[in-house]
Structure 1
Amino acid sequence: MVSLSKCCGNFSFAEYYNPNRTEFGNLRVVNDDLVQPHSGFGTHPHRDMEIFTYVIDGELTHKDSMGAHETLGRGSVQYMSAGLGVTHSEMNNGDKLLRFLQIWIKPDRKHYKPNYGSRVFGREDRHNKLHHVATSYDNYGNTEKDEGSGIIPIHQDANIFISEIDSDFTQEYLLQRRRQLYLVCIEGSLSVNKIVHMEARDALEVEGDEKDDQPLELTATGNRGAHFIMLEMAKA
């Protein structure tokens, strides 16, 4: 039987610490950040973490020690495998409020070579469907080269899906046995299996059954539809 547990959406991070909210499987951080115009996060280090950023509103300018420097808008994603160590900055150089999700996933081992890449997606890529934007290298294939389009490879047995569905539309997903997922409602409102209701910025932990695959139904319940991200992974 599938287990649905609504949560606050905040993991222990920086000055905030909750001993019951340190991780969910190999998922370490999900931050929903708001950055005022002409401000941001100056140069800082990362190490041994798979970092995935999804831009919701505004423009995010990234610059790192590997030489990457670019600005990304709504619907774009960037990823950084910090590995042996990297420094970077994330800034809002524009005149509008910036909102983005940043996700940290623990890698399957330490000391990978650092890597960076990005993808630019349109609404049509995620409209009324699950857009598969990241998967493990084992699923991706036999290359670590960033091709600049399509699915993003990460160093963990995990998958990331994004969707933006119309009001009353139902998106179905089959959660395989011994898997789990973390669901974030980004915008709008969402019903899960007609049991749990989610508003914007709500999060839900879903743990699959040990023996059987379990169906999930995600339905947009408000006039605005629903915009959500789903992080699926093996149980740790």
Structure 2
Amino acid sequence: MIKKIDSNTMGKKNVGWLKSTFHFSFDEYSNPDHNNFGVLRVLNDDIIQPNTGFDKHPHSNMEIVTYVIDGEISHADSLGYKRTLSRGNVQYMGAGTGVNHSEYNLSNESVRLLQIWIYPDIEEREPDYGDFRFDPNDRKNKWLHIVSSKEGDAPVKINQDVNFYVLELDENLEINFNLGEGRQAYLVQIEGTSIINQIDLKPKDALEIIEDSINIKSTKPSHFIIIEMKKS
């Protein structure tokens, strides 16, 4: 089963310094038919203006992954970590029993990133942090496995049975992605345009995929993320 989620139907917020597209219910945006997709609870496409950002605030009992699309984001948290990440880099925060963090764009260019929240396998774990800087060539015209469970083999490991893959596909190239029995995935067209199983996708559109295989053909240079998980 494959279902398209058109970005025009998603939640939107623009408060000047922050412009967001909400794939699922978040903040003032409520969509009872789209609160989550399996263990995927939040996927926000955020654009943060220069010299602004999220002041220090708390989280708990959520696995939080940030994927940077453009620009640089500077992170600081109550665990003592301070990092600045750029395009293609991944940041992970296991909020567990509680952690405070801030995220700032300290540059003169806007930042675009995906903020992704995953329900943990067990609540009240000790908080954790990690990040990884990937070689962009490793996602060029091939799937790059960036996030897995703690038992998986991706560089970034979180407390849930999920896998994140990213891909940058040159124009007019094709690639497949196959889901096994009992698995589902959420795909986002981050940049560019494509045709997937005869479905046209534009930037920020998404697909829900359940126990199915897809063929992707890029009609413009394209950038994708897939979040694969156990079928709910």
Give the TM-score normalised by structure 1.
0.89
- 1:88 equivalent in structure 2: 101
Deviations 1:85-118 (A, max 9, x none): 0000000010001100010000011011111011
Deviations 1:3-45 (A, max 9, x none): 3333445211111111111100000000000000000100010
Question: What is the aligned counterpart of 2:222 among 208, 226, 229?
Answer: 226
Structure 1 residue 179 corresponds to structure 2 residue 154: no
8 A Cα contact 1:134 1:159, kept in partner:
yes
Structure 1 residue 205 corresponds to structure 2 residue 203: no
Structure 1 residue 15 corresponds to structure 2 residue 13: no
AA in 1 matched with 2:30? Y
Count of residue correspondences:
218
What residue ranges of structure 1 are gaps of 5+ in the alignment? 141-149, 209-213
Worse-superposed segment, 195-204 or 84-93 = 195-204
SS at match of 1:124: helix
Structure 1 residue 162 corresponds to structure 2 residue 161: no
The CA distance in 1 between the partners of 2:151 and 2:83, in whole Å, is 28
Deviations 1:145-201 (A, max 9, x none): xxxxx62111111100000010111111111111111000111012112x2111111
Structure 1 residue 129 corresponds to structure 2 residue 142: yes
- 1:5 equivalent in structure 2: 4
- 1:32 equivalent in structure 2: 45
AA in 2 matched with 1:156? Q
The CA distance in 1 between the partners of 2:132 and 2:82, in whole Å, is 14
8 A Cα contact 1:189 1:199, kept in partner:
yes
SS at match of 2:152: helix
What is the CA distance between 1:74 and its match in structure 2? 0.9
SS at match of 2:171: coil
8 A Cα contact 2:176 2:214, kept in partner:
yes
The CA distance in 2 between the partners of 1:123 and 1:231, in whole Å, is 19
The CA distance in 1 between the partners of 2:30 and 2:5, in whole Å, is 19
Root-mean-square deviation (CA, aligned residues, Å) is 1.2
What residue ranges of structure 2 are gaps of 5+ in the alignment? 11-22
> Where has structure 1 moved over 6 Å in runs of 4 or more?
none
Deviations 1:190-233 (A, max 9, x none): 2112x21111111111111xxxxx332111112xx110100000
AA in 2 matched with 1:217? N
Worse-superposed segment, 70-79 or 59-68 = 70-79
The CA distance in 2 between the partners of 1:174 and 1:12, in whole Å, is 28
Structure 1 residue 102 corresponds to structure 2 residue 101: no
The CA distance in 2 between the partners of 1:5 and 1:166, in whole Å, is 22
AA in 1 matched with 2:196? V
The CA distance in 2 between the partners of 1:31 and 1:103, in whole Å, is 7
